[in-house]
Every structure is written in C-alpha cells, then in structure tokens.
Amino acid sequence: MTYMLAIAAASLALLLLSVPVAFALGLSCLLVMILWPGTPFLLVAQKTLNGMDSLPLLAIPFFLLASGIMNAGGLTDRVVNVFNGIVGPLRGGLAMVNIAVNIFFAGISGSAVADATATGSILIPAMKRNGYPGPFAAGLTAAAAACGPVIPPSIVLIVYGVVAHVSIFRLFLAGYLPGLLLAALLVSYVWYAATERGYAKQPRVGLREIISRIRLGFWALTMPVGLVLGILLGVFTVVELGAVLVVYAILVGLIYRQLSLREIPQILLQVGLDAANIMFIVGVSSLLAYLIALNRVPELVLAKVLSFTHDKTVFLTALNGILLVAGTFLDSTPATIILVPIFLPIAKELGIDPIHFGIVFVFNLCIGTVHPPVGLNLYVTSRIAKEPIVKVMVELVPMYILMFIVLAFITYFPAPIFWLPELLTR
C-alpha cells in the first residue's frame, strides 16, 4: 500500500505543477519503480501497449472524426437554427437552445469537452449579445455539455466497458436516463432563472420559417436518429457505428456544400492528435492499473471495506464521495482505468450490478468535468466567455445541486436505469 501512496503523491504533485495527465501518471510509475525495484522495466512498454490494444477503443477516433467533420460541414449551425426557431421565443429560450443542442451533440461526439467547445463557441457569444450574463452562459454550457459522457456514444462508457468486461451496448442504453433527466432539470432551472432575472426572449418565428429551417437542417437532424436506431436495433457494433457516422458526416457536409475536401487533412491531423492523446492516457493508465493489481491493492481494499460494511448503500455513498474528490484531480479516462479495477470487485461482492455501478461511476465523472482543478468544461467555457472562473462557478452552484439530485437518484433508485436495456435486450 505504501507503493501506491507514493504513486498517488507523486501524481498529485505533478498534476498541481500542470504536468499533462499522461506524463504525470507515467513519470510517477517510473519513479516508484526506481525507488522500489523488482518490476522489470520491459513491462512499461508491454503494459502500455497492451492497454491500447482493444478493438472497442477504435470507436474513439471515429467519434472524434465525425464530430470534427460535423463542425466543419456546417451541421452545428443548422441544428442551432432549428432549435432556436422552436424554443427561442420562450422565456430563457436561447439558454434552452444551448441545452438542447448540447444533448443533440452529446450523442455524436461522445466527449463533454468537444460538446462544450463546439456549442460554446457559437452559443455563448449569442447569449451574451442577447443580454445573458457571461458567467451564466459559460456555466450553463459547461453543465449542459456534462451530459456528454453519459449519453451514447460515450468515450468514457466505452473505456469502462473494456475495463469492466461488460456490454457496451447495454451501457449505452442505460446512459440515456441520467443524461436526459439532467437536461430536463436544467431546462426547468433555466426557465425559473430567466423569469426571475427577466432575460430577453428571442423574436418569434413563424411556422413557415420553422418548417424551412427543419428542411434545410433535415440531414443534420437525422444523424442522431440513425445513431439511436443503430444502437437500439443492434445493427452496428460500437466501432462500425463510429465508421458509419464518419461517412454520413462527410456526405451531409458535401450535400450542404460547406465541407471542402481540402479541409479533411487538417481535420484528420487534429483528430489524430486528440485520439493519440486519449490513447496515450489509456496506455499509461493501464500500466498504473497493472502496478495496482501487482501490489494486490484491490484485494486489500476489498478486505478493508468488507470488514467495515456489507451494506451496498453505505458503499455507494462512500464511492460517490471518493469519485467526486478523485474527479478534481483525474480526467475521466485515467480515473476509469485506475479506479474501476479497485472498486468494481467490491461492488460485485455486495451484489451491485456492473451496469448500475458503471453509470454511477461515469456520472460522477460527468460532474468532474465542471469543477476544478481538472474541470475541463469549466475552463473551456470560461475562456470562450472571457469570464473569471470564480464567477462562472458561482452561477454553477444551482446546477451543481441539480447534478447531485440526479446522482442521488441513480445511486439509490437504480431500477429505472435497467428499463431500456431490459426492454431491448430480452
């Protein structure tokens, strides 16, 4: 256990010095292996490469590429126009458009940071021009984009499925409820806040104009429909689904004549860098997970927890507290690879379904994307809005409360999570 505490201390110190996550974890592993020799250094390369050698992980670059092509092909703007025409005239309508668009793209990019960047660059300036305070616009975008990691296709759910050896298809189906529930609560809060603060309404759009916008954005709007049907009907595997989304995004971009083939190489380069960064984190995290297993940490933690309690409610409550703290220091991918092998055996021993455990685990990480020091959504949206992070966090306080309400619901009342997976996988 001393071995692992040394790794944790070294990783935390490096993270506080703003060392990238993958390097912080990797250097910590090497440092401890030097101080406590006995593990062959050959295993560094072997375990790192083995951690990345998984077929479902191929879906990650496909989802990132589909998201990049959508943004370049004008699909984002058309979807915003459609939602703006439908709910924009309501009190707080533009803020509701923000939530709707983030939910829409959560099912495509699979990444909370990608959603926050894509939608925030368009909607945060628009909200500020329409009288919304910058901190409110930034906070709402960060909270709405936090739905991304739990609504399919989720990169974190894919990684969890690989690590926990559970059905990614069932995880995807179980992820819809908490994501949509959070979105509904955010819409309710936006309506209340807009009414209390007197935020302006958008100009009313006639039915003919709404129909015209839907017609112009038809191909963009049907992409998530095909995604959902592909998942529900089991037509595609996760990797095949990602490849289909890429082809569809290219075709739609060409149909709209906003995607130039000359842009593809630059998009591929950026996606390659993003995917390489994620896979590097996956590989290094797998090395750390191996060292944890080698030192029998999961067995020691299991024995300690079971000596303290056999109550699954107590365990899940403690788990939420641990994950909320861990989420302030670890990004979602390394947190999943490192912590799931430690806590999942305990969950199984206490009779907690791995699907339920996974949704609770990932939703905690969703909350982690919007609070410091590694709340990437918070940093991205604050930078786009050009507002101090502290002011954005003040606006986020009611939204944090809503996130904790959803977290408590899925933690202590898991039955609704299984409704869709049980219905469609009988």
Please give the angle made by the CA atoms of 353, 359 and 361, to the nearest 5 degrees.
Answer: 95
Question: To the nearest whole number, what is the mean pLDDT of the chain?
Answer: 81
Contact of 214 with 221, CB cutoff 8 Å: yes
Residues 264-307 have pLDDT tens digits of: 888 888 888 878 877 887 788 777 777 777 777 667 777 777 77
Q: Which residues fall within 8 angstroms of residue 360, CB to CB, at 6 or more apart?
A: 316, 319, 320, 407, 410, 411
Q: Is the confidence at residue 374, as pLDDT, over 70?
A: no
Q: Taking Cα atoms as reference points, which of 161, 179, 186 lies closest to residue 171?
A: 161
For 186-241, what is each residue's pLDDT tens digit?
Answer: 999 999 999 888 887 777 777 788 888 888 878 777 777 777 677 667 677 778 87
Residues 6 or more apart whose Cβ sits within 8 Å of residue 142: 116, 369, 370, 375, 377, 378, 380, 381, 392, 396
CB-based contact 41:8 (threshold 8 Å):
no
Sign of the Cα pseudo-torsion (352, 5, 13, 18, in order) = negative
Task: Find where tokens 């984002």 sit.
Answer: 76
CA distance 143 to 399: 7
Provide mean pLDDT across the span 334-361. 89
Per-residue pLDDT, 182:
92
**Torsion on CA atoms 143, 113, 171, 245, rounded to nearest 10:** 120
Whether residue 335 contacts residue 156, with contact meaning beta carbons closer than 8 Å, is answered with no
- Residues 6 or more apart in contact with residue 189 via CB below 8 angstroms: 398, 399, 402
H-type helices in 55-133, by residue range? 59-72, 75-87, 93-109, 112-129
pTM of the model: 0.80
**pLDDT bracket for residue 133 (50, 70, 90):** very high
Q: How many CA atoms lie within 13 A of 400 on its CB side?
A: 14
Under a CB-based contact definition with an 8 Å cutoff, are residues 179 and 106 in contact? yes
Confidence (pLDDT) at 425: 67
Furthest-apart CA atoms within the chain: distance in Å: 73
Confidence at residue 231, expressed as pLDDT on a 0 to 100 scale: 67
**Which of the pair, 402 or 253, is modelled with greater confidence?**
402
Evaluate whether 15 touches 329 at the Cβ level (below 8 Å): yes
- Tokens matching residue 289: 């997970």
Q: Residue 75: exposed, middle, or buried by beta-carbon count in 10 A (0-12, 13-18, 19+)?
A: buried
Are 221 and 82 contacting, i.e. CB atoms less than 8 angstroms apart?
yes
Using the structure block, give the residue that is written with the tokens 């003040």. Answer: 394
Q: From CA 160, how far away is CA 422, in angstroms rounded?
A: 20
Distance separating alpha carbons of residues 280 and 1, to the nearest angstrom: 26
Name, in order, each residue with C-beta under 8 angstroms of 34's C-beta and a sequence gap of 6 or more. none
- With beta carbons less than 8 A apart as the criterion, state whether 358 and 314 touch: no
Q: Which of 164, 414, 190 is nearest to 298 (CA)?
A: 164
* Burial class (CB within 10 angstroms; exposed 0-12, middle 13-18, buried 19+) of 268: middle
- pLDDT of 1 reads 56
Task: Give the whole-angstrom CA distance, residue 139 versus residue 220.
Answer: 26
Q: Please check whether residue 164 is in contact with residue 354, taking contact to mean a CB–CB distance below 8 angstroms.
A: yes
Looking up tokens 């901190």 gives 135
Task: Among 40-44, 208-212, 242-246, 293-297, name the one with the lowest average pLDDT.
Answer: 293-297
The three-point CA angle 354-335-42 to 5° equals 105
Neighbour-count burial of 188, counting CB atoms closer than 10 A to its CB (0-12 exposed, 13-18 middle, 19+ buried): exposed
Digit-coded pLDDT (tens) for 45-81? 787 888 787 777 777 788 778 877 877 777 777 877 7
Model pLDDT, residue 402: 94
pLDDT in tens, 305-332: 777 778 889 889 988 888 887 776 667 7
Six-digit token string for 219: 């191909």
